[in-house]
Amino acid sequence: MPRDPYEVLGVPRDADDAQIKKAFRRLARELHPDVNSSETAEEDFKEAAEAYEVLSDPERRATYDRYGWDGLRSGGYAPQDFSGFGSLSDIFDAFFGGGAFGGGAPGGPAQGGDVAVSVDIDLEQAATGAQVDVSYDAIARCEHCHGNGAEPGTPIETCSRCGGAGRLQAVTRTPFGQVVRTVECDVCGGDGRVAATPCGVCRGRGRQVRRRTLTVDIPAGIADGQRIRLAGRGHEGERGGPAGDLYVQVRVREHERFVRDGDDLVTILDLPAPLAALGTRVRVPLLDGGEEEVEIPEGTQPGATIVLRGRGMPPLRRGRPGDLRIVVNVVVPRRLDRRQRELMQELADSLSDENMTSDESVFTKLRRTLFAS
């Protein structure tokens, strides 16, 4: 008895169509013969394809949910014979693009699949822009056979299975009768021709996995999680189809001093309580390594914000640079010696209600306190 299709695809029983398709596409890529040389890869793929065939059809799925495999078979369902009629090739298109997951008719040009990689950069690099090297695996034309799948000097012949048409008809039994569909020939992959002597490097596929390294320009102002698209740098297409794209996801490391908020930068300035009361001038570090002197007004309260216009992050596109927001953290002195305690006590005794009044309302104080926390 076959395994539970939900277990095979690794999805919950309430999974929607998008989750099922995504799970199957992931398995199809993992089990592709160009990247998986395991002896059980083909059998594992057949199992995954059968599970997808059931769960992607609403009526079959409902029958299975109520009656299991016995209910499907009593209703006339039989899984595809994935050893023939190109079904393996159809689903393997999920790795390259085309087929059920991309453009391209059977036997015609098919666009290659996209590739996604990620890079880590510092906040300083995000502010100034940078060049980073990325390495990834991609399907490329075999250099030994120049992509035709044949050993150099050997002929390429008309496929005897499909007669050069590149397509075959597959018959599937369903509860409503037989369904005939046209699929790619499993021998020639839709090309209509086969190599008399397959290439020994790529095993006749005309393509192979190769490691690529590219230098990517990271624009100034890019934010964490944003992606850069490099057209035509993904998997090579089939039968003259265009290559897929490379998507580089940028991850910006946390900074020890600055936090990004949109195009603004936020930092904390620790200020002793006496200086907050008296007012002072201090030098504040900037992201580029420099410093700028700012004035702290007399009587500055905890959580007060000082804004340096245009000293934040540059805009990724049009617009003005962000600001640097300096949040004042008033530090109450601790571990006082005897003389300091005497001075503090003398100050406390000299304070009156006039020194403690504030122009802020209770709600304003509450909002500021919550924001500062």
DSSP strand pairing (193-195 vs 264-272): unpaired
Q: Looking at residues 214-227, what average pLDDT do you find?
A: 92
Give the Cβ contact number of residue 96 at 10 Å: 27
pLDDT at 145: 87
User: pLDDT confidence of 365, banded at 50, 70, 90?
Assistant: low
Q: Which CATH class is domain 1-79?
A: mainly alpha
Tell me which of 25 and 128 has the higher pLDDT.
128
* C-alpha to C-alpha distance for 138 and 51, rounded to whole angstroms: 28
pLDDT band at 294 (very low <50, low <70, confident <90, very high): very high
Name the band, by pLDDT with cuts 50, 70 and 90, for residue 98: very low
Q: Which amino acid is located at 87 in the chain? A: S
pLDDT at 362 over 70: no
Q: Are strands 324-331 and 264-272 parallel, antiparallel or unpaired?
A: parallel
How much is the average pLDDT of 104-132?
83
Highest mean pLDDT among 55-59, 68-72, 295-299: 295-299
Per-residue pLDDT tens for 228-253? Answer: 999 999 888 877 788 889 999 999 99
Higher pLDDT, 78 or 26: 26
Residue range(s) in the chain whose domain bears CATH number 1.10.287.110? 1-79
Domain boundaries for CATH 2.60.260.20 within the chain? 271-372
The predicted pLDDT at position 61 comes to: 86
Residue 60 and residue 68 in contact, taking contact as beta carbons nearer than 8 Å: no
DSSP strands (E only) in 59-176: 115-121, 130-141, 156-158, 167-174
**Phi and psi at residue 26, to the nearest 5°:** -60, -45
Axis crossing angle, helix 58-74 with helix 41-55, rounded to the nearest 10: 110
pLDDT value at 122 more than 90? yes
Strand segments, DSSP code E, in the chain are 115-121, 130-141, 156-158, 167-174, 177-184, 193-195, 207-218, 227-230, 246-252, 259-261, 264-272, 280-285, 291-296, 305-308, 324-331
Q: Is the pLDDT of residue 256 over 90?
A: yes
Q: Strand 227-230 and strand 246-252: pairing? A: antiparallel
Q: What does the pLDDT look like over 272-290, one tens digit per residue?
A: 988 988 899 999 999 999 9
The mean pLDDT value for 127-140 works out to 92
What whole-number distance in Å separates Cα of residue 303 and Cα of residue 326? Answer: 9
> What's the chain's average pLDDT?
80
The more confidently predicted of residues 305 and 351 is 305
Residue 341 — very low, low, confident or very high, per pLDDT cuts 50/70/90?
confident
- The model's pTM: 0.59
Flag whether pLDDT at 322 surpasses 90. yes
| Alpha-carbon span 273 to 276, nearest angstrom | 5
Q: Which SS3 state, helix, strand or coil, does residue 250 take?
A: strand
Closest CA to 316 of 230, 224, 233, 215: 224
Query: How much is the pLDDT for 307?
Result: 94
Q: Would you say residue 260 has pLDDT above 90?
A: yes
- In angstroms, the CA 323 to CA 287 distance is 12
Q: What is the pLDDT of residue 218?
A: 93
Token pair belonging to 38: 């395991």
CATH topology of domain 271-372: HSP40/DNAj peptide-binding domain (2.60.260)
Q: What is the pLDDT of residues 151-181, one digit of tens each?
A: 888 888 888 888 888 888 777 665 545 666 7
| Average pLDDT over every residue of 191-212 | 84
Average pLDDT (326-354) is 83
Residue 337 has pLDDT above 50, yes or no: yes
Identify the pLDDT of residue 83. 41
The yes-or-no verdict on residue 11 having pLDDT over 80 is yes
Rounded to 5 degrees, φ, ψ at 125 are -70, -35
**Is pLDDT larger for residue 7 or for residue 42?**
7
